[in-house]
Amino acid sequence: MARTIFSSGARHLIRRLMVISTTGILSVSLGAFALAPRADASEPNHNGPQGIDHAVFVQTNDSAGNAVIAYARANDGSLHWDAQYPTGGLGGAEAGAVVDPLASQGSLTYDAHDHLLFAVNAGSDTFTVFDVEGAHLHRLQVVSSRGHLPTSISVVGRHLYVLDAGNDGAIAGFWIDGARHVHSIGGSTRSLGLGNPANPNFLASPSQVAITPDGRDVVVATKTHGVLDVFALDHFGVPTAAPVVTTSAGGVPFGLSYDALGRLIVAEASGGASSYFVHPNGALVTISSHVANAQAATCWSVIAKGFIYTANAGSNTITGYAENSAGQLSLLNADGVTATTDAGPVDLAASADGRYIYQQATGAGVIDEFSVNANGSLTQIGTVTGLAPDNGTGFEGIAAS
């Protein structure tokens, strides 16, 4: 029997109408928006070559007007420019930044559950919420971050946390309602007490906020302060008054990722990575302590096919790590070089299926595209050009659907 296929645009409209319908304002028959039935569901749509309904998003972080560039992802992993969408806010930069003006991981975050994209506007103390349909975005909200210089966002379930890097540093919580609107969580702002100026040096600022996959805790990395702060969350998403503080196993903790079992992986700018078990009391129990990679400025990380990949901004390389069943890390390559990149590799993103990773090489103004092989090795499949090279200001932030 032929199946009824909905276009991306029709799905978008249907979903909105369904939300409205649940409020009692409107009831609608979905059949009115269906395309004609067809037997072959493999016909390409407008969301990029070969009908792939997935995308990669890059933040311009332009101080004159921030925007998100959308790239449609083809079946072979290649990216193709689709459109550019203003965030309604301004980009920003931290003092002394070289190729990473936001000096953070997670400045652009995709929420697969609600098909939402969150972008920080570091220069206007806000973040933007976009609806995502394939490679197409629709701006829903521009929300105050409730602090100064937002640089990182994390979302798990209905809870969202924003990291404000300015001054003492702070986290603030938000919740997402059934209509996918974002609201502040009362009493959720917590200072990090870092003692920094309004625009901190990029090494002294906090680098990332990351909610644990079970939604129980919020973890913050503090770079040269050398600690990982863990705030427990209650049922409403309100954090404890003070964090459980753990000294990082390696110097300058920066990028935070979680493996499939919820263990914390920390990329360390001192040139390595560590892994931790997040104890129910909020303490971090070290599993692997600073597995060095002989590379420089190991700051960003992503996980694909069970392998951990870190970007080394000072070496123009990517380091791959394997992880055993106990959470212990080991280098995929003895010299720490799993792949070479263009100049200034910073933030990374992985496709939802783990087949591809995308590396922002901001020093060169490009995105390097890699396929992930079964043994964890990387094969470069192309490069996206056309972005302005970054010299401490400009584009940073990448996410994939």
Going through 269-338 in order, the beta strands assigned E by DSSP cover 272-278, 284-292, 298-304, 307-312, 317-323, 329-331
**Which comes out higher in pLDDT, residue 49 or 235?**
235
The pLDDT of residue 46: 36
Mean pLDDT along residues 220-242: 98
Query: What does the block give as tokens for 296?
Result: 């420089």
Q: Tens of pLDDT along 51-99? A: 447 999 999 999 999 999 999 999 999 999 999 999 999 999 999 999 9
Query: CB of 232 within 8 A of CB of 245?
Result: no
pLDDT in tens, 160-205: 999 999 999 999 999 999 999 999 999 999 999 999 999 999 999 9
Q: Give pLDDT tens digits for 249-266.
A: 999 999 999 999 999 999
Instruction: Give, for 8, the enclosing helix (H) or strand (E).
Output: helix 8-22
Q: Is the pLDDT of residue 386 over 90?
A: yes
- Amino acid 1: pLDDT: 35
Distances (CA, A) of 222 to 118, 194, 195, 395: 22, 8, 12, 22
DSSP, collapsed to helix, strand or coil, labels residue 273 as: strand
Residue pointed to by tokens 């570091």: 122
Pick the CATH number of 44-400 from 3.55.50.30, 3.40.1710.10, 2.130.10.10, 3.20.19.10: 2.130.10.10
What is the per-residue pLDDT for 72?
A: 98
Residues 6 or more apart whose Cβ sits within 8 Å of residue 336:
292, 293, 294, 295, 312, 317, 319
Query: In Å, what is the CA distance from 21 to each residue of 8, 12, 29?
Result: 20, 14, 10
Whole-angstrom Cα distance, residue 44 to residue 213?
Answer: 34
Give the tens place of pLDDT for each residue, 143-161.
Answer: 999 999 999 999 999 999 9
d(CA 166, CA 194): 9
* Distance from chain centroid for Cα 84: 18
pLDDT per residue as tens digits for the range 23-49: 333 333 323 223 222 222 222 333 334
DSSP 364-384: TTEEEEEEEPTTS-EEEEEEE
For the cut 50, the answer to whether the pLDDT of residue 235 exceeds it is yes
The model carries a pTM of 0.87
Tokens of 56: 């990669």
pLDDT tens for 108-135 read 999 999 999 999 999 999 999 999 999 9
Domain ranges of the chain: 1-43, 44-400
State the pLDDT confidence band at 12, using cuts at 50, 70 and 90: very low
